[in-house]
Structure 1
């Protein structure tokens, strides 16, 4: 059974917006993930905290690609290698 996808927002001490994502990102909910990313991108540079994401498939990764120039990813030790294999580390900063 998959974990429902949910979002939260916050700010880093320097004022940078943070989109916090929890659950599993797959083709069934990648559209809502893409919308949340689009809303977060409206303010310029932002951080996407994926430390509570348990799974991401190619649809979820595809939602991130249009924003790589403006975001920084924070990933769990489990998800970090997935993002690296997908080539995200060549396009943006990934904190593990």
Structure 2
């Protein structure tokens, strides 16, 4: 059974491309997350884009692995629940993480 995950894209008022994830990201849906990240990178025309994880309640190693190929191109928005997971995984040393 797959965990509930909703993925949406759009642009902020400043023109930045945003991929918003809501729900849980685990091995059951990490491929969909990875596909959405690749699409966001393409749609942002190679410019840095935002991955909004403020609606994510759970993120496992499969979700972290999906993020790794994009760390040079993303800015992450995270909650106090997910932020430490990203930091412990070493993503804070590779990309920008903003707490919400």
What is the TM-score normalised by the length of structure 1? 0.95
CA distance in 2, matches of 1:58, 1:17: 25
2:81 aligned residue (78, 83, 93): 78
SS at match of 2:18: strand
Across the two proteins, how many residue pairs are aligned to each other? 96
Structure 2 residue 64 is the aligned partner of structure 1 residue 61: yes
Q: Is the 8 A contact 1:27 1:57 kept in 2?
A: yes
Q: Matched residues in 1 for 2:12 and 2:96: separation?
A: 16
Aligned residue number for residue 10 of structure 1? 10
Given that residues 2 and 24 in structure 1 are in contact (C-alpha distance below 8 angstroms), is that contact kept between their aligned partners in structure 2? no
CA contact (8 A) 1:16 1:46 kept: yes
* Structure 2 unmatched runs, 5+: none
Query: Kindly tell me: are residues 88 and 23 of structure 1, through their superposed partners in 2, closer, same or farther at Cα, counting changes over 3 Å?
Result: same
**Preserved CA contact (<8 Å) 2:21 2:53:** yes
- 2:23 equivalent to 1:26: no
Shift of 1:2: 7.5
Offset at 1:73? 0.2
> Secondary structure of the equivalent of 1:27?
coil
